[in-house]
Amino acid sequence: MKFSVPKETFLEELQLLQGIVEKRNTMPILANILMNVSPSEIELTGTDLEVGLRTHLEAAIETPGAITVNGKKIFEIVKSLPEGQMVQVEKTDDVIEIRAGDSEFKILCLPKDDYPQVPEPKFEKGIQMPLKDVKEMIDRVYYAITQEQRYYLNGALLSLKNRQIELVSTDGHRLSYTKKAQDGLKIEKDISVIVAKKTLGEIRKFDDETVEFDLDENNLFFKVGHRTLISRVIESKFPNYQAVIPKDNPGRLVISREELANAIRRVSLLSAERSKGIKFTIEKSRMRLFSSNPEIGEARDRLAVEYKGQDLEIGFNAQYLLDFLTAVASERVVFEIKDENSAVLLKPEAEEGLTNIYVLMPMKI
């Protein structure tokens, strides 16, 4: 196996694989990437058995071959080389030599036969979506995926319907739902699958026009350009999120998103470290914010609002509110409120083409 490739081309693909390769060393081979060199191109594969990435790059290939090499080490070596260099890679026995200019490295490798098999997609369904839209939707739900122990919540529910994409996440304290119309999306049968948080995080790193989607019984596949992301299906039932979304909250509050976010940041400086709780007193034309920490002190702030409903006091986790306020783009946001104990519905006042609602449980303060 012998080839030459520009440093920048090689480094870009190796960097993407860093988010995939296993770091906990449960199986030493999972810290490696599979380097499969054919007469026409190089195929690099990384997996942690839950999420995998297969990517292709062009190179000047002298001799085909295959080997697995430590993903972190080869990335650090290539990154350390001077800009604009051609990187020469050659395998002899179970060692690969990496040369560029006067720099030379030798890394011990493991045989390709020991590497776990990564599923091959067919992409026969012809499901394509604009990557920009998918990434925007992921940004709206990603922050509410926090439950690593409850694996069925450690991801977002993706629903593909005729001309529509839906994405929803929840951690039991809050729920974020987003949907977007897609005129070019034609689905024979509705698809509903849980996509792992790690997979969503990797999709956010990609940059292209479209993402192609496919699935089989055990895996989901996302293809962006010359890269294919493989994700094991999370075999569980997602909670009935529709039952959680409030339908008849009578109180309606409209407020500047930026002013509210800044006030929450200020007042939360003196909130209790663990709960991050802030008390909101909501009246017809104003909102008062209050936090206190017995060991430090207290903070107060006040904002002008438009509010129709009963005066009330309600508490929220400051960070949960900031997560939503920093993810949306609308100048103003709407709170639909029932009382101090019931779930509150938040949404942007106006956003083109994208529906986004956020359900948040209040907290006792």
Domains in the chain (CATH in brackets) are 2-114 (3.10.150.10), 127-242 (3.10.150.10), 245-360 (3.10.150.10)
Q: Looking at residues 104-123, what average pLDDT do you find?
A: 94
Spatial separation of the C-alpha atoms in residues 278 and 316, rounded to whole Å: 6
pLDDT at 25 over 90: no
CA 141 vs CA 12, 39, 176: distances in Å? 27, 42, 5
| Confidence at residue 169, expressed as pLDDT on a 0 to 100 scale | 97
Beta strands across the sheet bearing 332-337 = 191-196, 155-161, 164-170, 174-181, 354-360, 344-348, 332-337, 251-256, 306-308
**What is the model's pTM?**
0.92
pLDDT at 192 over 80: yes
Q: Supply the DSSP symbol for 363.
A: B
With a pLDDT cut of 90, the percent of the chain lying above it is 88
pLDDT category at 274 given cuts 50, 70, 90 is confident
